[in-house]
Structure formats: C-alpha cells, structure tokens
C-alpha cells in the first residue's frame, strides 16, 4: 500500500470539502493511505515569492519538514501548492546557501529540513502508483460515451524544469486517467490556456471573461469539464452561476469522476455540493 502525508493547503478545507472527500474515498478504494499532515500551514503561495523569496522557501520548508518527521512523501491536491512545494523542494536540495538560510529561520521554531522527502500531485500518484490499466480493471461502472474536457491548470505543468510533471506543451497524464474511467478526453481549442484565476484580485471582470471563454468552447465538445485544481474548479463553476447564458457545463474534480466509475454515489464524493447540477452524467454510466 502506498502511504503519503496529505497536504490540503488553505483553499480546499475552507471552500471545497468535496475535493477533499472524493480524493480520500478514491484513495481508500485504490489502496492509497493518506495521512493528515498535522501542523501544516500555508504552502508559501506563489504570490509570496515576489515579496520575499527566502521567506516563501521557509514557509514551504516548514511543511516539508513535517512530512520528513513522519518519514512520508507529500501528496498535494492543489495545483498552486503543488508548484510551490515541489519547486522549493527541488531548489532547497540544489542550493545549499538557500537551505542554510531557510534552516536558520526554521531553527527559531525548533525545526529543520534535511531534504529527504518528495512532493507529488494527487493525479501523479494515481498515474504512477496505480496506473490507467489497473484502474480500468477496478471499475464497477465504467462510463460509456461521456465526453470530457480536461483542464490541467498552469501550476500543474509549469515551471516545467522544476515541476517535471508532464510535457508542458503536450501533456497526457490527466487525459489518460480520464480515459481509464471509460470516458473520452476530447481535444478542444485553447485546452492549455489559463482559467483566469491569477488575475482575479486585480481584474475580476477580465478573470471571469477568461473562464467563460474556456467553458463556452469546452461545452461545444464535451458533456463535462474535469479539473484537478481547486482554483480552476471555482473559476469554471463560478463563471456559470452569474450572468451565464445557455446550458451549463458540469465541472467535476477528477476523483469525483473516477469515484463514480468505481461504483460510488454522488453523496460519497461530494458531487451534491457542486454548484452546477451534474446529474446528467449518470446517463453515461
């Protein structure tokens, strides 16, 4: 059985319990043990780096040291947390000067990071530890004819030299995992473009229009949109709640899609908490 320290970040516990719930249920069904990371704080957030690079690294190292203390690698659900923790984990292992500066900060609270853990996105754990072929063998209700528009999100793929998740220009991991459920991951224009979330605090109208543009394209090709990032999920749901014209496109976290194919119910996966009714996808089971 694979065993990981689970890092939830700030947004998921506060706003998307459905992502947490579905990820735990699916992990349990697949034989992956997720251990809550006691004492975890903010990942260090992509915004912090522009203000204080060393402090951002120290915030990330705090969380890394907690997992190191438990002797566990970290699994992350949030793309932003994934980028920050994975990026600084690589940098701290490569830059002895930065590691020394960070450990001087951590020493004030009785902690130290030695660089012995790895950080993986939940999606990558499913792909590497279980794999699409084994997932297919475990399905109880595979989808038939469901067209899914996959959205990776920027922080899952870039900066690619540090994240090393997948080919940033032609990724396939999330698509392969969607196809493993029996659904079909469809290609659609601007598939890898941003959801608009990074500029939400600066220009809400523009941010919302970017999200709407992507959903409007995706719904021409797909029956459902699949994400693995809390911010992208909230963007694509939120833009369809106010000022939306026409049929809405359901948005699911990937573990919600997989959980249904594994035979779980809506309530078990928190799909009943989603803001857009996704009941129509049951027609494809």
Would 126 be classed as within a structural domain? no
Number of domains the chain contains: 2
For 118, which DSSP code?
A: -
Q: Are 75 and 5 in contact (CB under 8 A)?
A: yes
Tokens of 104: 């001087």
User: Bridge partners of 120?
Assistant: 75
Here the CATH number for the domain that contains residue 69 is: 1.20.1050.140
Q: Are 176 and 187 in contact (CB under 8 A)?
A: no
Check whether residue 178 and residue 72 sit in a common domain: no
Q: Which H/E stretch holds residue 184?
A: strand 184-185
Check whether residue 161 and residue 277 sit in a common domain: yes
Look at residues 164, 85, 142, 155 and name the one whose alpha carbon lies nearest to residue 260.
142
Residues in CB range of 71: below 8 A, 6 or more apart: none
Q: In this predicted structure, what is the pLDDT of residue 48?
A: 79
Look at residues 16, 68, 80, 1 and name the one whose alpha carbon lies nearest to residue 40.
68
Q: Are 75 and 125 in contact (CB under 8 A)?
A: yes
Q: Per residue of the chain (285 residues), what is the pLDDT tens digit?
A: 799 999 999 999 999 999 999 999 999 999 999 999 999 999 998 777 778 999 999 999 999 999 999 999 999 999 999 999 999 999 999 999 999 999 999 999 999 999 999 999 999 999 999 999 999 999 999 999 999 999 999 999 999 998 999 999 999 999 999 999 999 999 999 999 999 999 999 999 999 999 999 999 999 999 999 999 999 999 999 999 988 988 999 999 999 999 999 999 999 999 999 999 999 999 999
Q: In this predicted structure, what is the pLDDT of residue 46?
A: 77
Would 56 be classed as within a structural domain? yes
Q: In this predicted structure, what is the pLDDT of residue 1?
A: 75
For 149, which DSSP code?
A: E
Would 158 be classed as within a structural domain? yes
Check whether residue 11 and residue 115 sit in a common domain: yes
Look at residues 186, 266, 276 and name the one whose alpha carbon lies nearest to residue 234.
276
Check whether residue 156 and residue 87 sit in a common domain: no
Asked, as a colleague might, if the bond just before 251 is cis with ω within 30 of 0, I would say no
User: Which one of 59, 92, 121 terminates a domain?
Assistant: 121
Q: In which domain, by residue range, is 112 found?
A: 2-121
Check whether residue 104 and residue 46 sit in a common domain: yes
Check whether residue 12 and residue 137 sit in a common domain: no
User: Which one of 121, 156, 186 terminates a domain?
Assistant: 121
**Number of other residues whose CB lies within 10 A of the CB of residue 59:** 23
């Amino acid at each position: 059985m694979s065993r990981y320290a689970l890092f939830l970040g700030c947004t998921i516990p506060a706003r998307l319990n459905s992502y947490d719930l579905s990820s735990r249920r699916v992990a349990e069904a697949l034989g992956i043990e997720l251990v809550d990371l006691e004492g975890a704080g903010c990942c260090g957030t992509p915004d912090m780096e522009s203000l204080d690079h060393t402090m951002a690294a120290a915030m990330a190292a705090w969380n890394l040291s907690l997992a190191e203390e438990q002797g566990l690698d970290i699994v992350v659900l949030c793309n932003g947390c994934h980028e920050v923790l994975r990026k600084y984990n690589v940098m701290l292992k490569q830059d002895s000067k930065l590691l020394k500066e960070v450990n001087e900060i951590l020493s004030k609270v009785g902690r130290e990071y030695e660089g012995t853990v790895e950080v993986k996105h939940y999606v990558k754990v499913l792909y590497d530890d279980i794999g699409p072929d084994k997932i297919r063998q475990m399905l109880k209700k595979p989808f038939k004819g469901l067209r899914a528009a996959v959205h990776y999100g920027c922080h899952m793929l870039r900066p690619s030299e540090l994240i090393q998740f997948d080919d940033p220009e032609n990724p396939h991991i999330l698509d392969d995992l969607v196809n493993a459920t029996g659904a079909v991951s469809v290609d659609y224009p601007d598939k890898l473009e941003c959801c608009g979330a990074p500029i939400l605090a600066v220009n809400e109208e523009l941010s919302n229009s970017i999200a709407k543009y992507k959903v409007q394209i995706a719904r021409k090709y797909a029956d459902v949109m699949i994400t693995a990032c809390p911010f992208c999920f909230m963007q694509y749901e939120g833009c369809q709640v106010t000022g939306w014209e026409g049929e809405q496109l359901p948005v699911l976290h990937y573990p919600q899609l997989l959980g249904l194919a594994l035979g779980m119910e809506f309530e078990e996966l928190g799909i009943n908490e989603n803001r857009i009714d996704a009941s129509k996808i049951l027609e494809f089971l």
